[in-house]
Chain A
Amino acid sequence: MTTGRAHIPGLYIHFPFCRSKCGYCDFYSVTETSLISSFLEALSMEAALYREEFTAFDTVYLGGGTPSLMAPDQVEALLEMVLDTFTILANAEITMELNPADLTREDLRVLRRAGINRVNIGVQSFHDRELQFLGRRHDRRQAMKALEWAGSAGFDNIGLDLIYNLPHQSLEDWRASLMQAIALRPAHLSCYELELKADTPLGRKLGQRGHGRGSEDLAREFFIKTSGVLEDAGYIHYEVSNFAAGMDKASQHNRKYWDHTPYLGLGPAAHSFEGASRWWNRSSLQSYLADLSRRERPVEGREDLGPQELAMEALFLGLRTRDGIDLDRYARLYGRDLMRENRRQLEEWSRLGLVEIASRRIRPTRSGMAVADALAVM
């Protein structure tokens, strides 16, 4: 089964260092920043090991971790390494995640000149109290500065991350935060509900809060409010947690995760996808470095997806996006006619206002997106 061969792959680089760990985050990172240069060396070795398989990319995403812990010249060198190893197409979207605590105005200028053309700033909140609760290193003032400097450094594609449904946060608090964000006119907003995962410090501390029915009602109110406020302000709610000032500002890189476009993930714990296979790297910096010192791919696991699994993924990922599912493309790629198999169910959902079915597409509505996972289990 080939899926999206016509789509050009994306490159993800996981920079696995943080100054300190945030209580809610379950991405892989370590605080031993002394290992940064060893990591960067290993990374270029890893990239070299894939140059035959992946030749060209049209997106690069530098995430983490906290990639802004790198000195600007390290980022420059990293991008150079990428350009030396692979072909990066003209007009490629090259994104870097930034922590507002890390950068100066000058740093941002250097990054822009080095070729980064999109930044995603981890603002999370405009309230210092909330930032402290989340264990962030920055405050509101630094966040505002970072946004301002990014603009003046020449970035016209700025995204910011926010987190909602914090303990003690009211809908009104959240609306105020959103209004502040809107006032800054970022090209892109990612608004994530705080999810307490069991393997995070905050998850352990607060336990199962957020799993009862009452709190699901609240989570829904936050979700609907977010969508409403941002769409009223002209943003497109193009994925469960993502909003863009125009479809040209939607993350080109993240889209690849949702439509089975191939991607190569470099760095510890990074995931890759190609054809019908997914593989993932060791989620330990030590073993990652050890593997690469032997010039071996630091792959920890791999799965080959059968037609049913691919179809399932395409369904639940598609239902997370405003574009929804193109029925003809779905039938072509996964050999299943969703409309014929589930007509009654889909018509029922359409009647309930959860999906819109038109021009051979199933699109989730705002309410539908809130229950996308349940829809996917049709």
Chain B
Amino acid sequence: MQNIRNFSIIAHIDHGKSTLADRLIMKTGACDLRIYKDQMLDSMDIERERGITIKSHAISLPYTASDGETYTLNLIDTPGHVDFSYEVSRSLASCEGVLLLIDAAQGVQAQTLANLYLAMEHDLEIIPVINKIDLPAADVERVLEQIDSELGLDPATHLACSAKDGTGVDEILEAIVRRIPPPRGEAEDPLAALIFDAYYDAYRGTVINCRVFDGEVKAGDTIRFMFNDSIYRVEEVGRFLLDRQKRDTLSAGEVGYIIAGVKTVSSVSIGDTITLDDRPCAQPLPGFKKVKPVVFASIYPIASDDYEDLSDALEKYKLNDAAFIYEKDSSAALGQGFRCGFLGLLHLDIVQERLEREYGLNIILSVPSVRYRFTLKDGAELYVDNPAHYPNPMSIIKSEEPYIRASMMLPDRYLGAVMTLCIDRRGVNSNMRYPSPGRVELSYEMPLSEVIFDFYDRFKSVTQGYGSFDYDLIDYRTSNLVLLDILVNGEKVDALSQIVHRDRARTRGVLACDRLKDEIPRQMYKIAIQGAIGGEIISRSTVSAFRKDVTAKCYGGDITRKRKLLEKQKEGKKRMKMVGSVSIPQSAFLAVLKSDKDS
């Protein structure tokens, strides 16, 4: 156990976490970087393309330090987006230390801070690492000052590197060995292992990633998931290099995987404690939380014939994403579909993209919603995440919506603009701190619904990209809510309905009509778009009909070109949903939540 180090790299998005991870993997010779990258690419295109880590991974790096000893460095990767902060916390709970990576040019950002706080909560050894020192815009002095004043860490403890060209990577590896404490635990105690990730393998079922705190586990053991209260027989244990390496046991201090005939990822809860059925530990490891989706939307196939395919795809997708939930749903306008829950808008984007890319489906997503709480006259408490299920307004005595605390970090010249934005988004109870001259740490309590309504885009835009943002759910608060319906040619399109604050209703109605006017392509007839609250029309817009689109000349040389153009339009049309006699493109449903055309 003395020769094990368990650590994570934590950073604000784009501060170079993946590059450093690749560099450490290559340096320790765990595998050939080229093979590693190829394999990663195969496993998750979207992660690579978006430059974010969606799900955590773990890898064991063999490393011979300058003291001549050989160590196992377990790098536990963490997802890099606020939607997945619970997963991050479970990964960190599995570590003894972290590399806190800071971009030399951008300095400390909101996620740097949020991650630091998380690491501190877990009492981890923190090694500040300044990355990208090779950049012309690198300002190491300024970052050192921020480490001192904003992070409250000793700047003398920092390391500097360029993950891109490899400078400083050896020092990082040495520091991991010297500064991060070895794990503690009792191999003789009853098994206590923390699940920090799980993924689905088509041949083996669910592969559970865990950190063993006490005891040991081996093939043949009967294990118990303490919170889920389920029992499985262990088929195989091992650890990750590039792929799974089978081992006889996993014991205290180690990080690795367990395969135990668990059919779906959903049967495993991140944060749950694994123990032995016949010799359980006294109490589960702390910090378990059941992850709950906070953003909801319905998914419909564009062609109703594809319903079965969509149903199959969701079932398969769900195998590997425990945070995603879905159930049958049907819409008067869009037909049969599924109501789905997501951890946030990014999670929603990812699910949508993967369903389309990996399963070849053409789908429509309804306008995303948060989960509201209504108290009715008969005393019943009702959670509603689908505007179609909005209760009869006469029966409501109290409406509530979820609130978050938003933490933002920005140069103070943007303070005014950001405060205006937050107040505009019904932000209250602001808090402000100047961690260092010129920089502000700002927090607001805001309705979650305002955050999913393009807050992040607006925030980035008003801070010109220099602001960073993070949030936590706090509670439900009373709110004056109404149902905003959208009518297209007089027909209510339930998938475009939104639950909104009464003060907002008119603006949102105008905006939705405006956005839809731009998103719905012209058709053969004029299309009237209306916003309505309880039958009263509050906004309207019109998409004018085609006037003349036919090209004047179509002779020998024009035909191929014209056909290709029309084929493309036809393809585009396939991605639209017929609602009554109007084709509505997929983009329209999400556009309703955007306030600016350019964002």
Instruction: Knowing A316-B562, A348-B581, A377-B569, say if A265 contacts B547 (CB, 8 Å).
Output: no
Q: How many A-B residue pairs have CB under 8 A?
A: 97
Is the beta-carbon distance between B563 and A373 smaller than 8 angstroms? no
Chain B residues lying within 8 Å of A257, measured Cβ to Cβ, are 554-556, 559
Q: Digitize B469-490: 1 where CB-to-A-CB distance is under 8 Å, 0 elsewhere.
A: 0000000000000000000000
Task: Indicate if A119 sits at the interface (CB-CB under 8 A).
Answer: no
Q: A312-B566, A377-B566 are in contact. Are A352 and B524 (CB under 8 A)?
A: yes
Contacting residue for A241 out of B523, B544, B552, CB 8 A: B552
Stretch at the interface among A266-274, A291-299, A331-339: A266-274
Picked from A219, A258, A270, the residue with its CB within 8 Å of the CB of B547 is A219
Which residue of chain A has the shortest Cβ distance to B556 in the bound complex? A271
Q: Are A370 and B548 in contact (CB under 8 A)?
A: yes
**Are B525 and A352 in touch, CB under 8 angstroms?**
yes
Instruction: Find residues 554-599 in chain B having any chain A CB closer than 8 Å to their own CB.
Output: 554-557, 559-560, 562-563, 566-567, 569-570, 573, 581
Report yes or no: A371 in contact with B562, Cβ–Cβ below 8 A: no
Determine the chain A residues whose CB is within 8 A of the CB of B551 once the complex forms. 195, 240, 373
Question: Which residue of chain B has the shortest Cβ distance to A273 in the bound complex?
Answer: B556
Q: Which residue of A lies closest to B544 (CB)?
A: A213
A348 cross-chain contacts in B, Cβ below 8 A: 524, 581
CA distance A280 to B559 in the complex (A): 12
Q: Which residues of A contact B358 (CB under 8 A)?
A: none
- For A303, what are the chain B residues with a Cβ–Cβ distance below 8 Å? 560
- C-alpha spacing A320/B567, complex, angstroms: 17
Instruction: Say if the beta carbon of A278 comes within 8 Å of chain B.
Output: yes
Chain B contacts for A126, CB-based, 8 A: none
Interface flags, B518-555, vs A, CB<8A=1, else 0: 00000111000000000000000000101111111111
Cα distance A354–B573 when bound, in Å?
A: 20
User: Nearest chain A CB to B418's CB is how many angstroms away?
Assistant: 37
In this complex, what residue of B is CB-closest to A214? B547
A376 CA / B562 CA spacing, docked (Å): 11
CA distance A317 to B553 in the complex (A): 11
CB pair B556–A240 under 8 Å, yes or no, is no
Kindly report which residue of chain B lies nearest to residue A371, judged by CB atoms. Answer: B546
In the complex the two chains form, what is the Cα distance from A272 to B560 in whole Å? 11
Q: Is the CB of B552 within 8 A of A193?
A: yes
Given contacts A195-B552, A374-B549, contact A271 B557 (CB under 8 A): yes
A339-378 interface code vs B (CB 8 A; 1 in, 0 out): 0000000001100101000000000000001111111110
- The reply to whether A374 and B556 form a contact with Cβ atoms under 8 Å apart is no
Whether A216 sits at the interface, judged by CB under 8 Å, is yes
Indicate if the CB atoms of B549 and A371 lie closer than 8 Å: yes
A265/B556 contact (C-beta < 8 A), A376-B566, A377-B569 known:
yes
| Complex-state Cα separation, A201 to B503, whole angstroms | 54
Is there contact, CB below 8 Å, between A240 and B552?
A: yes
- State the Cβ distance, A25 to closest chain B Cβ, in Å: 10
List chain A residues, Cβ under 8 A from B547.
Answer: 213, 216-217, 219-220, 370-371
| Residues of chain B contacted by A273 (CB below 8 angstroms) | 556
Contact A192 B553 (CB under 8 A): yes
Assess whether A374 is in contact with B524, with CB atoms less than 8 Å apart: yes
From residue B489, how far is it (CB to closest CB) to chain A in Å? 12
A328 to chain B, nearest CB (A): 23
CA distance A265 to B556 in the complex (A): 8
Q: How many residues of A contact B (CB 8 A)?
A: 45
Residues of B near A252 (CB, < 8 A) are none
Cβ of A288 within 8 Å of any chain B Cβ, yes or no, is: no
B559: nearest chain-A partner, CB-CB: A313
Instruction: Say how far B554's CB is from chain A's closest CB, in angstroms.
Output: 6
Minimum distance in angstroms from A61 CB to a CB of chain B? 9
In whole angstroms, how far apart are the Cα atoms of A250 and B567 in the complex? 29
Q: Are A220 and B524 in contact (CB under 8 A)?
A: no
Once the chains are docked, how many angstroms separate the CA of A192 from the CA of B551?
9
Contact with B along A244-260 (1 / 0, CB 8 A): 00000000001001100
Mark out the residues of chain A between 295 and 326 whose CB falls within 8 Å of any chain B CB in the assembled complex: 303, 309, 312-313, 316-317, 320
Give the residues in chain B near A258, CB-CB below 8 Å.
554
A15 on the B face (CB < 8 A): no
- Chain A residues near B569 (CB-CB < 8 A): 377
Contact check, A313 vs B554: say whether CB atoms are below 8 A apart: no
* Interface residue? A174 (CB, 8 A): no
The CA of A113 and the CA of B547, in the complex, are separated in Å by 46
Cross-chain contact A240 with B566 (CB below 8 angstroms) = no
B554 lies within 8 A of A312 (CB): no
Q: How far is the CA of A270 from the CA of B550 in the complex (A)?
A: 23
Whole-angstrom distance between the alpha carbons of A219 and B569 in the complex? 21
With a cutoff of 8 Å between Cβ atoms, the chain B residues found around residue A352 in the complex are: 524-525
Residue A54 CB within 8 A of the other chain: no
A241-B553, A352-B524 given; A316·B548 CB < 8 A: no
B560 adjacent to A371 (CB under 8 Å) = no
Asked whether, in the complex, the Cβ of B550 is within 8 Å of the Cβ of A370, the reply is yes
Q: Which chain B residues (208-235) contact chain A, with CB distance < 8 Å?
A: none
Residues of the B chain whose Cβ atoms lie less than 8 Å from the Cβ of A195: 551-553
Contact check: which of A12, A192, A371 meets B552 at CB < 8 Å?
Answer: A192
Indicate which residue in A271, A278, A316, A371 contacts B566 across the interface (CB closer than 8 Å). A316
Answer whether residue A238 sits at the interface, using C-beta atoms and an 8 A cutoff.
Answer: no
Closest to B546 in A: A371
Determine whether the beta carbon of A223 is less than 8 Å from that of B548: yes
A residues in contact with B562, CB < 8 Å = 316, 373
A263 at the interface (CB under 8 A from B): yes
From A193, A219, A316, B563 is in contact (CB under 8 Å) with A316
CA of A374 to CA of B547, assembled, Å: 10
Are the CB atoms of B524 and A312 closer together than 8 Å? Answer: no
- Which residues of chain B come closer than 8 Å to A219, judged between CB atoms? 547-548
Which B480-528 residues sit within 8 Å CB-CB of chain A? 523-525
Cα–Cα, bound, A193→B554 (Å): 12
Residues of A contacting B549 with CB < 8 Å? 216, 370-374
Once bound together, how far apart are the Cα atoms of A369 and B547, in whole Å?
10
- By a CB distance below 8 angstroms, the chain A residues around B560 are 271, 278, 303
Question: Which residues of the partner chain B approach A271 to less than 8 Å between Cβ atoms?
Answer: 556-557, 559-560
Contact A240–B554 (Cβ < 8 Å): yes
Please indicate the chain B residues that have their CB under 8 angstroms from the CB of A374 in the complex. Answer: 523-524, 546, 549
- Check if A254 sits within 8 Å of B525, measured CB to CB: no
Q: Please state if B570 and A377 are interface contacts (CB–CB under 8 Å).
A: yes
CA distance A377 to B555 in the complex (A): 19
Task: List the B residue with the shortest CB-CB distance to A27.
Answer: B557
Cα separation A27 to B558 with both chains bound (whole Å): 10
Interface centre among B544, B556, B570 (most CB of A within 10 A): B556
Nearest-neighbor residue (CB-CB) of A194 within chain B: B552
**Which of B524, B553, B557, B569 has the most chain A CB atoms closer than 10 A to its own CB?**
B557
CA distance A27 to B546 in the complex (A): 28
Tell which of A258, A316, A354 has the most Cβ of chain B within 10 Å.
Answer: A316
Residues of the B chain whose Cβ atoms lie less than 8 Å from the Cβ of A254: 555
Measured CB to CB, the residues of B under 8 A from A are 523-525, 544, 546-557, 559-560, 562-563, 566-567, 569-570, 573, 581
**Chain A residues within CB distance 8 Å of chain B:** 12, 27, 192-193, 195, 213, 216-217, 219-220, 223, 240-241, 254, 257-258, 263, 265, 269-273, 278, 280, 303, 309, 312-313, 316-317, 320, 348-349, 352, 354, 369-377
6 nearest A-B pairs in the assembled complex, by CB-CB distance: A271-B556, A220-B547, A220-B548, A192-B552, A372-B550, A216-B547
30 A–B contacts from the bound complex (CB under 8 Å): A12-B556, A27-B557, A192-B553, A195-B552, A216-B547, A219-B547, A220-B548, A240-B554, A263-B556, A270-B556, A271-B556, A271-B557, A271-B560, A272-B556, A309-B567, A312-B563, A313-B563, A316-B563, A317-B559, A348-B524, A352-B525, A369-B550, A370-B548, A371-B524, A371-B549, A373-B550, A374-B523, A374-B546, A374-B549, A377-B566
Give 7 A-B pairs besides A240-B550, A313-B563 with Cβ atoms closer than 8 angstroms: A195-B551, A213-B544, A312-B566, A352-B524, A370-B547, A373-B550, A377-B573
